[in-house]
A = this chain, B = another copy of it.
Amino acid sequence: MSKIKILNEKDIKKIINLKLAIEAVEDAYKQKSNKKGNVWPLVFYEYEHDVFDLDIRSGNLVDSNCYGLKLISYNENNPKIGLPKVNATALVCDGKTGKLIAILNAEPITSYRTGAAAAIGAKYLANKNSRNLLVIGSGNVAKYSTAAILITMPSIKKVYIYNSRRVIDNDELLLFKGEVKELLKESGMDINAEFESVSDIQEITKKSDIIISATPSDKALIDVSWVKTGTHFSCMGAGLSGKQEIDEKIFSKARIFADDEAQCLKVGEAQSAYKEKIITRFDGEIGDVLLEKIEGRKSNEDITIFDSTGLFLQDLATAVKLINEAKEKNVGSEIEL
């Protein structure tokens, strides 16, 4: 029997913020680059395609002295009976003894660490003076990514929101902006950019310095001919076989970086470019760029792509920061197990 820290959804919402997640995810990418972060094989089981499935992701971070797992279940039908679609639980163990340290509701962690990834891509690969941000998608990933990028890229003055299925009306735009404002507030910041709903993606792409794609699309929404020099892409919507958001030909013109090269070639935004032999590999992984082992952007004119498929190490690093923060601020509870 030993004491285990419990951080439920309410506890986590008291202490999580995007700055914390950005720091955590940078740390995870760096440890991965230094071979101190290992991702273990994914367990995936599908009850009904696109309706009910689950996966178990696991791995360790040696420098953070921990390992753990995240069990995520997705059930499309749950809202009908008043349950959330996503059920996610994380276990974190001590990396020296194997003792279970904490059990966390991993659902909020997933949102924050995904937004953080988009922002880290921009921070290390986009032009420093980027002013115009185009966000493709208006869901959860879009919202967290937008807020996080406004933290790492304070030069941004304009945020364009685009949804391929419908024009975002003013009410929805205000709601989106309000939620982004809340996310920034958690990190002690405010919005310094204008938000605008757009319907002509071709026109906006031509003047965008940074583009976040955050949709479940399975065909390209952005044509290679629309992209201006210097644009940075953070591609967040992939992570499954068959998904695509931007023209695969953009890959041949860009400096391209993965969160995990093997995973991105298989299920990332790069999968089409790889299958069609437009690329054979990435210029590097994002962790190598963070540690300056390789150069990210080489000139203001480079197009850059960060292909983010999502790694359990991002969750684990965020969980560890939350556990420490919770101890300091006396948040959460303890159980004996």
Task: List chain A positions with a Cβ less than 8 A from chain B.
Answer: 1-2, 6, 8-10, 38, 40-41, 43, 45, 52, 54, 56, 58, 60, 67, 69, 71, 73-75, 77-78, 81, 83, 87, 89, 91, 93, 97-100, 103, 105, 333, 335-337
Given contacts A45-B40, A100-B87, A337-B9, contact A56 B58 (CB under 8 A): yes
Contact among B78, B87, B337 with A89 in the assembled complex (CB-CB below 8 Å): B337
Residues on the B chain within 8 Å of A105, using CB: 1, 337
**Are B87 and A93 in contact, CB atoms less than 8 angstroms apart?**
yes
A173 to chain B, nearest CB (A): 30
User: Which residues of chain B come closer than 8 Å to A336, judged between CB atoms?
Assistant: 8-10
Copies in the complex: 2
Residues of B close to A54: CB separation below 8 A:
67, 93, 98
Chain B residues contacting A60 (CB-CB under 8 Å) are 45
Q: Which of B8, B10, B83, B337 contacts A103 (CB 8 A)?
A: B337
State the majority secondary structure of interface residues on A: strand
Contact A73 B52 (CB under 8 A): no
Can you pick out 10 interface pairs between chain A and chain B where the beta carbons lie within 8 Å of each other?
A2-B83, A8-B335, A8-B337, A38-B45, A41-B41, A54-B67, A56-B69, A71-B100, A83-B97, A83-B99
A43: shortest Cβ distance to chain B, in Å? 5
CA A333 to CA B336, docked complex, whole Å? 10
What are the residues of chain B within 8 A of A58 when measuring CB–CB?
43, 56
What is the distance, in angstroms, from A296's C-beta to the closest C-beta of chain B? 31
Among candidates B6, B52, B335, residue contacting A98 with C-beta atoms closer than 8 Å: B52
CB distance from A107 to the nearest CB of B (A): 10
Q: Is the CB of A1 within 8 A of B9?
A: yes
Contacts of A1 in B (CB 8 A): 8-10, 105
Q: Is the CB of B97 within 8 A of A81?
A: yes
